[in-house]
Amino acid sequence: MSTSPLIRFEGVSKRFGDTAAVDDVTLDIAAGEFFVLLGPSGCGKTTLMRLLAGFEAPDAGRVLLAGRELAGLRPHRRPVNMMFQSYALFPHLTVAANVAYGLLQERLGRAEIDARVGEMLALVQLEPLSARKPDQLSGGQRQRVALARALAKRPKVLLLDEPLGALDRRLREETRGQLKAIQARLGTTFLMVTHDQDEAMGLADRMAVMRQGRIVQLGPPAELYANPVDRDVAGFLGEVNLFPVPGGGWRAVRPERMILSRDRPALADAWTGEVQAVAYLGDRTHYTVRLADGAVVRILQANTSSGPAFARADAVWAAFAPDAATVLDR
Amino acid sequence: MKRGGVERSAWLAYAWLAVFFLAPFALVLKLSLSHTTLGIPPYAPRLDLSQGLASVVALVRDLNFDAYGRFVSDRLYVDAYLSSLGYAGVATALLIAIGYPMALAMARAPRGAQPFLVAAVIAPFWTSFLLRIYAWTAILKPEGWLNLALRSLGLPEVQLLNTDAAIYLGLVYAYLPFMVLPLYAVLERQDQGLLEAAADLGATPWRAFWTVTFPMSLPGVAAGALLCLIPMTGEFIVPDLLGGSQTLMIGKVIWSEFFQNRDWPAAAAAAAALTATLVLPILLHQRLQARTLSR
């Protein structure tokens, strides 16, 4: 990054009782980035975000926004807005009044507020529902009101706490696309927290995997997926086959990088085995194969003809090319 | 099955209303249409069922609206009526001003402490209402505890007993639980995440209170206000024990018509008029609630 970062966490720690929710985290996020904090629940990712919003104060370290330290600044004074996990829409206000709420606090003129609310509702395609109350909306519509409300003040940073978590699968995929498009269009810096690796990888420019209050790996999704630092990260980002290396450590191979064939392939790393389970997924087929030495590997194959290429109990060869493996020490 | 259960409990409620409210109220209405006589009981006509249907016809023919005529034409009744509403209205406003911060503090207290705080609010009910108000006379009388305390602090003494201030003090003291509990019930349910959202959107804590907490608690304010306003309007013990002889409240008027003047029809007419006006806000409140629920 050539420019100075928009957000900087500098050796930030936060304890709740005996547990360190956030443990000495240092992290820079550039303006305009779509940054995702990924980790299991309780890993400290939400606390890290709440430290930026001002709902928690760090026990140690500094949080800076555009070079300015935020310590002592109450949440209502911070130029960041959050989209809450449960949306936290005001139930007694209409959709339009919810979106206007933040603008009213700035004491803008009526005409300007109306214009901005209209613009935001258009952005999330909710103009026809502006007079409804939140309990008259579907889950997806509420999610979009929450997004419009958080964006209405044109924050420097938009914080998203599990924004897609409450939606069903199909709506989640559709909304994911909309989120990405809105972020690209506005150029706002997005900082999102999620425990869902598909969501993280599908949205992030860069992401950080967190564990026990610490960032264990940081980088673009493709880099983290291909070169995880350890078995935990490898497993958290998707399925992985681990082949022990005689001297210690493992070679990690993703299921889609495995090769499955009837005849022996011309590769050094090839084993005979038997297909134990076949899961046909339409575009792909997922095979579980038991190797001769008893190890179980998972293999994902694109379907080039109709139906799976192998059936249960077929004798097969499982293999991978040298460049498909990543060596892991831990 | 669940639906049937709901309907059955609704019928129970109606039966309860009919037996314990409508029937006594019908008796009061009938009494208010009678006229006074010398004797026991001191009114006529009376229903003599041994004469059959004819007695009902005779009874109805003998009823009249004279008591209501007197009620409307006599300034005393109208003044007592209006001043009762005035006392109750001011006391309700005081109760909201005092009860709201209490209820809010209870709702924001640590979870574990809340049952004890609720118990503390209810605790006075373990002592008779009459005794508690009577105890206030001991505090407020010229040589009472209040003045003893003031004197020991070197402050000037105050004369509160038999003043309006004492009535408000008594009303607020006696009805505070009826204001605090419904307010606590709505405030305790409020999602604290909404206040975080308000702060996140730039609202100061003060603004967040007036734009989120308070408007969302209005059903509780309405319930508390009704629970206090209605019985306070007809209140008798507080003005009788703490107020002066010049205090004009409809509860006192009804009492003195009944027990001193032995004018039962007049007392019944005043009571019926009071009930009728107080039912109005209840109906309004229920309509509002039904509208919120149907949404």
State what percent of residues in chain A have pLDDT above 90: 66
Q: Which residues of A touch B203 (CB under 8 A)?
A: 76, 101, 105
CA distance B269 to B257: 11
Q: Tokens in use for A76?
A: 């209502």
ipTM value > 0.95: no
Query: Around B112, how many Cα atoms within 13 Å sit in the side-chain half-sphere?
Result: 0
pLDDT above 90 for A258:
yes
Is residue A2 in a domain?
no
Question: Mean pLDDT for chain A?
Answer: 91
Q: Tokens in use for A157?
A: 């940073």
In the DSSP assignment, the letter for residue B209 is I
Of A10-19, A207-216, B6-15, where does mean pLDDT reach its minimum?
A: B6-15
CB within 8 Å of chain A, chain B residues 247-276 = none
Cβ atoms of residues A317 and A328 within 8 Å = no
A50 and A102 belong to one structural domain: yes
8 Å CB contact of B194 and A149: no
Mean predicted confidence (pLDDT) in A58-70: 92
CA distance A141 to A123: 13
Would you kindly state where each structural domain of chain B is located, as residue ranges?
Answer: 74-294
pLDDT above 80 for A125:
yes
CA distance A253 to A67: 42
A60 and A171 belong to one structural domain: yes
pLDDT above 70 for B228:
yes
In the prediction, which pLDDT does B1 show? 44
8 Å CB contact of B196 and A88: yes
pLDDT above 90 for B161:
no
Of A21-30, B105-114, B234-243, where does mean pLDDT reach its minimum?
A: B234-243
Total domain count, chain A: 2
CA distance A318 to A259: 6
Backbone angles phi, psi at A44, to 5 degrees: 100, 0
A19 and A103 belong to one structural domain: yes
Residue from A47, A90, A156, A162 whose CB has the most chain B CBs within 10 Å, to mutate: A90
Q: Tokens in use for B108?
A: 């924001």
CB-nearest to A92 from B198, B203, B216 is: B216
Query: pLDDT of A166-195, one tens digit each?
Result: 788 888 888 888 899 999 999 999 999 999
In the prediction, which pLDDT does A7 show? 94
Residues 6+ apart with CB under 8 A from A248: A329
**A193 forms bridges with which residues in the sheet?**
A37, A161
8 Å CB contact of B199 and A106: no
Query: pLDDT of B132-142, one tens digit each?
Result: 999 999 999 88
A271 and A314 belong to one structural domain: yes
In the prediction, which pLDDT does B75 show? 85
Using CA atoms, how far residue B21 sits from A259, B138, B250, B256, B268, in Å, is 84, 36, 20, 23, 15
pLDDT band at A2 (very low <50, low <70, confident <90, very high): very low
- Edge-first strand order for the sheet with A258-261 is A258-261, A315-320, A270-280, A284-291, A296-302
> Does B288 reach chain A within 8 Å, measured CB to CB?
no
Residues 6+ apart with CB under 8 A from A291: A271, A272, A273, A297, A318
Using CA atoms, how far residue B87 sits from B80, B92, B242, B264, B269, in Å, is 10, 8, 13, 25, 21
In the prediction, which pLDDT does B284 show? 82
CATH of the domain at A283: 2.40.50.140
- Which residue, of A232, A259, A290, is where some domain finishes? A232
Q: Which residues of B touch A55 (CB under 8 A)?
A: 196, 199
pLDDT above 80 for B293:
no
Q: Which residues of B touch A81 (CB under 8 A)?
A: 200-201
8 Å CB contact of A76 and B202: yes
- Could you tell me which chain B residue has the CA closest to the CA of A86? B193
Backbone angles phi, psi at A280, to 5 degrees: -85, 120
CA distance A305 to A300: 15
In the prediction, which pLDDT does A146 show? 95
Secondary structure of residue A184 in the 3-state scheme = helix
8 Å CB contact of A74 and B194: no
pLDDT band at B98 (very low <50, low <70, confident <90, very high): very high
Is residue A1 in a domain?
no
Cβ atoms of residues A93 and A131 within 8 Å = no
pLDDT band at B14 (very low <50, low <70, confident <90, very high): confident
The distance of B178 to chain A (nearest Cα, Å) reads 25
A254 and A198 belong to one structural domain: no
CB-nearest to A88 from B193, B215, B216 is: B193
> Does A328 reach chain B within 8 Å, measured CB to CB?
no
Secondary structure of residue A11 in the 3-state scheme = strand
In the prediction, which pLDDT does B209 show? 96
Domain B74-294 sits in which CATH superfamily? MetI-like (1.10.3720.10)
Query: pLDDT of B244-261, one tens digit each?
Result: 778 888 888 888 888 888
- Pinpoint the alpha helices (H) of chain B: 2-17, 23-32, 53-62, 66-73, 75-108, 114-122, 129-140, 145-152, 164-189, 192-200, 205-208, 214-216, 218-233, 237-242, 250-259, 264-294
AA identity, residue B240: D
Cβ atoms of residues A69 and B171 within 8 Å = no
A157 and A273 belong to one structural domain: no
A316 and A213 belong to one structural domain: no
- Which residue, of A202, A232, A262, is where some domain finishes? A232
CATH of the domain at A47: 3.40.50.300
pLDDT above 80 for A242:
yes
Query: pLDDT of A76-112, one tens digit each?
Result: 999 999 999 989 999 999 999 999 999 999 888 999 9
CB within 8 Å of chain B, chain A residues 53-82 = 53-55, 74-77, 80-82
CA distance B29 to B31: 5
DSSP per-residue string spanning A17-53 = TTEEEEEEEEEEE-TT-EEEEE--TTSSHHHHHHHHH
Cβ atoms of residues A157 and A68 within 8 Å = no
By residue range, what is the domain housing residue A160? 7-232
**B73 forms bridges with which residues in the sheet?**
none
A166 and A88 belong to one structural domain: yes
- Which residue, of A232, A258, A283, is where some domain finishes? A232
In the prediction, which pLDDT does A1 show? 44
Is residue A87 in a domain?
yes
pLDDT above 90 for B280:
no
A140 and A273 belong to one structural domain: no
- Could you tell me which chain A residue has the CA closest to the CA of B191? A88
| Peptide bond connecting B41 to the previous residue in cis, omega within 30 degrees of 0 | yes
A174 and A36 belong to one structural domain: yes
A204 and A249 belong to one structural domain: no
A281 and A182 belong to one structural domain: no
- Could you tell me which chain B residue has the CA closest to the CA of A134? B295
